[in-house]
Chains A and B, each alone.
Chain A
Amino acid sequence: MRWWVPAAATAVLAIVLIGVVIGLVRPPGPLDDPRPAYQRDGILRDGPVLAREVAGVPFGERTVVLLFERDAPTGAEWEEWRQDVSDDGVDLVLVPASVDGASALAAAVGMPVPVDGGPPVGYAVVDPDRQVRYATLDPKYLLNAFEVDVITGAVS
């Protein structure tokens, strides 16, 4: 091997790597967490313990998934997601940003604020002891129903 081959190959590698990381790994979008590490990190947390009722939503009997959305989702993909998430004895509560109490719920569970500063799109998981175990933005949550199942399966 010629002595200059590794350097030349590395120069090409560097160009490709820079292109992939800068060009293909997209930066956070307007609905994403400005801190990518904190979005869908998959780590259970010992978050705050909620009151037995917050903004009309009861906690403490079963695992509750609070889905925060800006507009109520519709369609077959949503129906499939809703079925997947709630078929394990989990209470799924849809919280559109327009309903009374949405802000109070988001604050209570510690939902992050997205890049655009608007209401969160994502979900929080509250265990049967009313403790918040997970709260993440996820504007593409319909792609990732299995992630919710993993989290709820671990806390139920």
Chain B
Amino acid sequence: MSARDPGSTTTARSWHPLSLSIQLAVLVLAEIALFQTYGAHDARFHWAAHFLVAVATAALVLLAVLLVRGSPGRYPLLLVLALHLFAMAPDLIFRAGAPHALWMDVFLGHISVHYLPGGDTAGLAIALVAVGAYVVALTRWLRATRNPM
């Protein structure tokens, strides 16, 4: 990881407090809407499973970007939302009339994630570990670069 590269202007902009606040607002509002939609069909378990996979995947993607590029990835909170929408795509396909099938695992393990031993609690633990790993790396980078963002 480079301690000299402060990242691009776009990256710095996406980590600005105002940008993070907007991203957080978009993420929270969208997730509340998705939670209510799933909840209306007695499917909160499914919402949580796909959301937690999205959180874990986003953390791993951001960690990889940080390690490879030497600067943080862009729009971290919007990445979580984008990955969540991607992970839940088979549910939209189901709604359009096609049953679930094993090939739908290409959507961040859409089928298999439900069979994770421990269910959503295990998914939560994995997501928190992944986020924790990214935060450790990001914190080290911030300290090494002396606050470039």
Residues of A near any B CB (own CB < 8 A): 1-4, 6-7, 10, 13-14, 17-18, 20-22, 24-26, 36-37, 40-44, 140, 143-144, 146-147, 149-151, 153-154
Tell whether, in the assembled complex, residue A25 and residue B142 are in contact, meaning their CB atoms are under 8 Å apart.
Answer: no
Give the distance in Å from the alpha carbon of A34 to the alpha carbon of B22 in the complex.
40
B147's partner among A2, A21, A154 (CB-CB below 8 A) is A2
A10's partner among B95, B120, B132 (CB-CB below 8 A) is B132
Residues of B near any A CB (own CB < 8 A): 15, 17, 35, 40-45, 47-48, 52, 55, 94-95, 97-102, 111, 114-115, 119-121, 123-124, 127-128, 131-132, 135, 138-139, 142-143, 147, 149
The winner among B35, B123, B138 for most chain A CB atoms within 10 A is: B138
Contacts of B41 in A (CB 8 A): 143-144
B119's partner among A20, A36, A144 (CB-CB below 8 A) is A36
The closest CB in chain B to the CB of A21 belongs to B124
The winner among A1, A14, A144, A153 for most chain B CB atoms within 10 A is: A1
Tell whether, in the assembled complex, residue B45 and residue A25 are in contact, meaning their CB atoms are under 8 Å apart.
Answer: yes
Give the distance in Å from the alpha carbon of A6 to the alpha carbon of B52 in the complex.
19
Q: What's the A-B contact tally at a CB cutoff of 8 Å?
A: 85
Tell whether, in the assembled complex, residue A6 and residue B138 are in contact, meaning their CB atoms are under 8 Å apart.
Answer: yes
**What DSSP secondary structure best describes chain B's contact surface?**
helix
Tell whether, in the assembled complex, residue B142 and residue A42 are in contact, meaning their CB atoms are under 8 Å apart.
Answer: no
Contacts of B119 in A (CB 8 A): 36-37
Tell whether, in the assembled complex, residue B95 and residue A20 are in contact, meaning their CB atoms are under 8 Å apart.
Answer: no
Answer whether A154 and B99 are a contact pair too, CB < 8 Å, given A4-B139, A13-B131, A37-B119.
yes
Give the distance in Å from the alpha carbon of A7 to the alpha carbon of B128 in the complex.
12
Tell whether, in the assembled complex, residue B48 and residue A150 are in contact, meaning their CB atoms are under 8 Å apart.
Answer: no
The closest CB in chain A to the CB of B137 belongs to A6
Give the distance in Å from the alpha carbon of A26 to the alpha carbon of B44 in the complex.
7
Answer whether A153 and B114 are a contact pair too, CB < 8 Å, given A6-B139, A17-B124, A37-B119.
no
In the assembled complex, the CB of A73 is this many whole angstroms from the nearest CB of chain B, namely: 16
With A7-B139, A14-B128 given, name 20 new contacts (CB 8 A): A1-B17, A1-B147, A1-B149, A2-B142, A2-B147, A3-B139, A3-B143, A6-B139, A6-B142, A7-B135, A10-B131, A17-B124, A21-B121, A21-B123, A25-B47, A43-B99, A43-B101, A143-B40, A143-B42, A150-B94
